[in-house]
Structure 1
C-alpha cells in the first residue's frame, strides 16, 4: 500500500514472479507425497482404514509441510542476517542450534567481503509499473553498489534474477523508519548471498533491462490472471440438450 495514498494497492514482486511457469513443482509435489507414503507407511495404512479422507489429506499436503518448514527456517535466518548486518552483537547461546551454522557463515561473509550496507530490509515502489517489494540489502561490494538477496534454499534459482531486476528498476525506496520516499540509487547489478549449513557463496545475478522486460511481461500476466480473464467468456447465446431450458431455447 502506498504510504502517500492508502487507497493505492499494488501486487508484490514475489507475486508477479510467481506467474512464471514452474512445471517441475508438479513432479516435486508428487514425489513428496510418494515419500510421505513410503516413509510413514504404518501411519498411513492405519489412517487409510480409519479415515480414508484424512489419509488423502495427509499425503496431498506433504509438499506443503516441507515447504513450510523450509520457509520458517528461511524467515528465521533472514531475521538473524539482518541483525548481524546491522552490527548487533548476538551471543551464541541466544542462537537456536539449527541456526548456528548459518550465523557462522554469515559472519564469515561479513569479515571476508566487508560489504558496506546502505539500506537493509526496505520497501521499493514502482510508480510507473505499479508494483512493490522488499529487498534484503543494498550495499557496496568491491566498490560497486548492488542489490543483495539472502537465500537459504537448496539452490539459487533463476527466478531470483526477475526479483532483483524489479528491485533494481523500482522508482523509489520507502524508508521504514520515517515513511519517507527516496529515489532508487543507480545500481551496478545484483547478487545472492547463498547460505547453507555447509558453507556460503556470493553469487552474481544478471538483473539488467532485458531481465526486467521479462518481469514486466509477467506483470501483464498477473493483471490478466487477476482481472482480465474474468470478462473474456460470455454467457451462452445458444444451447441444446438437457442443459437448455425453454427460456434459453427461445432466447437462442
Structure 2
C-alpha cells in the first residue's frame, strides 16, 4: 500500500490536502476514528512492558557469563532502560502495522495487475518499503517475513476465487466537505451488482471500531485523485473487511454503517477539533477580574445584553442598565416585588403607614383585618437610583 500523495503527517495526526502542495485541510479518517478512548488498552500496555522486562531477565539466565556486564550497563542508564521497557507495546504495534502495510502493498499489486506477486516480487517490495519508509525494521529474517506474507496471499487468493470481485477503485481517497474529513479506502469493489468499500485487515481479529472507518467512506461526498481532481462518489451499499488472519484462510465481515455509527464518527470529529489549551485564560488577580473572565469565557457578557454591552453597542431601548462595575452583588439586591414607598414618595396629605414590627410586612392603607393581597398599588414605582451601590470587590 503506497502512502496517499495528498496525505500529510502533522502533530495532530495524519491530514489531507485537496491539491498537490496544498496545506493540510482535513484530518484523515483513521485520525478521527482514533479519538475514541482506549482505556481498555492500559492493561495491555502494562503486560507488554512486564514481558519485555522478563525477557531481559531471561537473557541474563541464558547468558550468565554476560550477566555482570549487562547489569552494569542497565543500571548505568536507568532512563534508557525504562524507555526501552515502556516502548514494548509501541514496538509491537509498529511491527504489526508494518507487516499489514506490506501485505496491503502485495494485495494492491495483485489487484492492479491481476496476477499474484512472485517470490522475487515479494522480496523486492520488502526492500522498497524498508528503503522508502523505514518499515519492517524489526524483521530479522527475510524468509520468515516472506513465509508469513505468503500465507496471507493464499487467503486473499481464495477470496478472489470465491467472491469474484471487480475492483472499481484501488487505494482511492475520498472526502467529505460537510463534516470535514478525508481518507483512503483499500478498494471500492463490485460484488454481484453492488458497490461497497473493502478494507484488508491482518489483525488478530476484526474489531468493531473498524465500522467507524467504513461508515466514513460510505458517507463520503467525492472521490479525490492524487492530482487534486475530484469525481462523483458512487453510491455504496456498505463496507466490509477482508480479514486475512495469521492462521491462514480469509473471512469477509460486513460492517454496520448506519446513521448511529456516522453520528459517533461526527462526534469524534468534534473531539478532534477540541483545543484543550484554549480553555485556559490568564490568571486573575482580583475577584472582579475573575468574574469578568468567567463571564467572557462562557459568553456571559453577550448573554447579559445591555447590562454589559461593550462601548459602541447601545442598550435595549426599553431598559437602561448601569455598567457592570456599578451593579450591586447578589447579596445587596432588593427583595423581589415592588419596593416600599419612602416617606418622600408618599403624596402630600396621605396618611403615613404605621411602622411594622420586625419581620412583619406593613399593613396597606385601608386594608381589612382579614389577610389578603394588597391590590392598592397596581403599578410599580419609578426605578430607584442604584448608582450609589458598589460591588463587593
Under TM normalisation by the shorter chain, which class is it? 0.7 to 0.9
Instruction: Determine which structure has the larger strand proportion and give its number.
Output: 1
Question: RMSD of the alignment, in Å?
Answer: 2.0
Query: 2:77, 2:23 → 1: CA distance?
Result: 47
SS state at 2:280 partner:
coil
Which residue in 1 is equivalent to 2:77? 51
Which residue in 2 is equivalent to 1:145? 195
Which residue in 1 is equivalent to 2:272? 222
| 2:282 corresponds to 1:235 | yes
Which residue in 2 is equivalent to 1:26? 42
Which residue in 1 is equivalent to 2:33? 17
**Superposition deviation, residue 98 in structure 1:** 2.6
Which residue in 1 is equivalent to 2:91? 65
Query: 1:90, 1:195 → 2: CA distance?
Result: 16
| 2:245 corresponds to 1:196 | yes
Query: 1:17, 1:157 → 2: CA distance?
Result: 12
Structure 2-normalised TM-score?
0.57
Query: 1:41, 1:64 → 2: CA distance?
Result: 21
**Superposition deviation, residue 89 in structure 1:** 4.3
Query: 1:202, 1:49 → 2: CA distance?
Result: 50
What does the per-residue CA deviation read over 1:203-248, in whole Å, with 9 as the maximum and x for residues that have no partner?
A: 0100122211110000000001xx3x23222122138xxxxxxxxx
Q: Which has the larger radius of gyration?
A: 2
Number of residue pairs matched by the alignment: 236
Which residue in 2 is equivalent to 1:249? none
SS state at 1:147 partner:
strand
Which residue in 1 is equivalent to 2:110? 84
What does the per-residue CA deviation read over 1:81-133, in whole Å, with 9 as the maximum and x for residues that have no partner?
A: 11112214422354322311011111111011111111110111111111110
| 2:208 corresponds to 1:181 | no
Which residue in 1 is equivalent to 2:335? none
SS state at 1:207 partner:
coil
What does the per-residue CA deviation read over 1:4-50, in whole Å, with 9 as the maximum and x for residues that have no partner?
A: 89246111111111110111221111110011111221558724333
Q: Any unmatched runs of 5+ in structure 2?
A: 1-16, 61-69, 123-145, 287-392
**Superposition deviation, residue 145 in structure 1:** 1.1
Do 2:204 and 2:246's aligned partners in 1 also have CA atoms closer than 8 Å?
no
What does the per-residue CA deviation read over 1:52-84, in whole Å, with 9 as the maximum and x for residues that have no partner?
A: 122111101111111111011000011011111
Which residue in 2 is equivalent to 1:248? none
Q: Name which structure has the greater RCO, CA cutoff 8 Å, separation 6+.
A: 1
Query: 1:5, 1:167 → 2: CA distance?
Result: 24
Q: Any unmatched runs of 5+ in structure 1?
A: 240-251
2:217 equivalent among 139, 161, 167: 167
Query: 1:195, 1:110 → 2: CA distance?
Result: 12
Query: 2:116, 2:155 → 1: CA distance?
Result: 15
2:206 equivalent among 146, 156, 161: 156
Do 1:84 and 1:107's aligned partners in 2 also have CA atoms closer than 8 Å?
no
Instruction: Determine which structure has the larger helix proportion and give its number.
Output: 1
